[in-house]
């Protein structure tokens, strides 16, 4: 079954996770350990993130700085295949536009098709100031990437050659933003483009993380009012560190409710902040389950222990 079919068939709220490929030069064992610690909650599917190359500066022997582009976490396709093979759980590699040419993406789709991985999350990716590949050579939006995947499903390649339509077509989800994407001039235009992604074939939406459930409920209402009927999966992250009080709003453009901020301000250590994070997320999850959401999707980066504790309390 594809993730879209799994979500459509859910009667109770499921559990799913997002993992990151290991840092370049690190073993995959840490990823497996993180999944092992969460297996008792029967993940419906596991997402694997993708990231383009980033500039790093090295000092050469003459003391000058040299700029290199490095992909810090390569291996999205390989990690997806390794996880699916090891656990028999559907994996969902993220495919991004930024930093990748459509030709590179086509080769990734060919690999995934050969590997029997047919679920994708299609995203634009972050548009950083400096990227190895000129942004003009990349798809501009997730909608363009969706078009490429739809063409690929029909057996149309970028060079104009064709083949039979895929027997197992790629099925995909897209991203949505309960508090609006940071570049969108307003919520209405952001939703208009979200609807375009769904109309082009997205089977479900996974949201950006949020700490205020009301933002998610309002977002779902607005989507439904626009005629977006696919499942909208809440993306959830436990707070682990005091520094996240300022880092998370800045990085993800999310609002932290005042009661959460007050609790975090009382914390003396990261351990205290972690406990507050678990309490807050537990409360969020209980309310979301009570409202009958199809699935809770957890961002586990450096936080699988907190996610396990929350899952133990709510499932």
> Given the rule CB under 6 A, which residues bind ligand FAD?
49-51, 94, 96, 123-126, 141-143, 175, 181, 183-184, 189-190, 193, 206, 208, 235
When the beta carbons of 206 and 242 are compared against ligand FAD, the nearer one is: 206
CB of 138 to ligand FAD, least distance (A): 11
- In 225-260, which positions are buried (b, 16+ CB within 10 angstroms) versus exposed (e)? eeebebbbbbbbbbbbbbebbeebeeebebebeeeb
| Sequence-separated (6 or more) residues with CB below 8 Å from residue 271 | none
When the beta carbons of 190 and 263 are compared against ligand FAD, the nearer one is: 190
**Angle of helix 29-36 versus helix 76-87 axis, rounded to 10:** 40
If we measure between CA atoms, which residue out of 83, 98, 106 comes closest to residue 20?
83
When the beta carbons of 38 and 145 are compared against ligand FAD, the nearer one is: 145
CB of 19 to ligand FAD, least distance (A): 11
When the beta carbons of 121 and 308 are compared against ligand FAD, the nearer one is: 121
When the beta carbons of 108 and 313 are compared against ligand FAD, the nearer one is: 108
SS3 248: helix
CB of 53 to ligand FAD, least distance (A): 11
When the beta carbons of 198 and 276 are compared against ligand FAD, the nearer one is: 198
CA distances, 181 to each of 21, 135, 178 (Å): 25, 19, 8
Tell me the backbone φ, ψ of residue 75, rounded to 5 degrees. Answer: 100, 20
Other CB atoms within a 10 A radius of the CB of residue 162 amount to: 11
**How many residues are present in the chain?**
315
Token pair, residue 133, equals 């590949």
CB of 219 to ligand FAD, least distance (A): 12
CB of 272 to ligand FAD, least distance (A): 28
- CA pair distance 19, 32, nearest whole angstrom: 10
CB of 17 to ligand FAD, least distance (A): 12
């Amino acid at each position: 079954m594809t993730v879209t079919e799994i979500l459509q068939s859910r009667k109770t709220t499921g559990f799913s996770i997002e993992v990151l490929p290991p840092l370049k030069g690190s073993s995959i064992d840490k990823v497996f350990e993180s999944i092992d610690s969460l297996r008792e909650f029967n993940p419906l599917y596991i997402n694997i993130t993708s990231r383009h190359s980033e500039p790093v500066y090295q000092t050469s022997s003459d003391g000058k700085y040299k700029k290199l582009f490095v992909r810090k976490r390569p291996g999205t396709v390989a990690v997806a295949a390794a996880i699916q093979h090891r656990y028999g759980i559907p994996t969902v590699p993220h495919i991004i536009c930024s930093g990748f040419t459509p030709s590179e993406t086509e080769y990734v789709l060919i690999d995934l098709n050969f590997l029997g991985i047919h679920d994708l999350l299609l995203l634009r990716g972050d548009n950083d100031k400096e990227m190895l590949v000129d942004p003009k050579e990349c798809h501009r939006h997730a909608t363009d990437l969706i078009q490429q995947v739809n063409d690929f499903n029909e057996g149309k390649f970028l060079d104009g050659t064709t083949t039979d339509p895929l027997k197992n077509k790629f099925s995909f989800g897209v991203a949505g933003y309960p508090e609006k994407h940071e570049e969108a001039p307003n919520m209405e235009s952001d939703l208009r483009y979200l609807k375009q992604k769904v109309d082009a074939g997205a089977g479900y939406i996974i949201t950006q993380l949020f700490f205020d459930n009301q933002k998610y409920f309002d977002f779902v209402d607005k989507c439904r009012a626009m005629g977006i009927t696919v499942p909208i999966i809440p993306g959830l992250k436990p707070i682990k560190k005091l520094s996240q009080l300022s880092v998370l709003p800045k990085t993800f453009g999310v609002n932290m409710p005042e009661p959460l901020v007050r609790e975090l301000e009382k914390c003396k250590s990261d351990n205290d902040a972690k406990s507050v994070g678990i309490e807050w997320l537990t409360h969020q999850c209980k309310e979301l389950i009570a409202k009958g959401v199809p699935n809770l999707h957890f961002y586990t980066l450096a936080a699988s222990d907190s996610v396990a504790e929350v899952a133990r309390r709510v499932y």
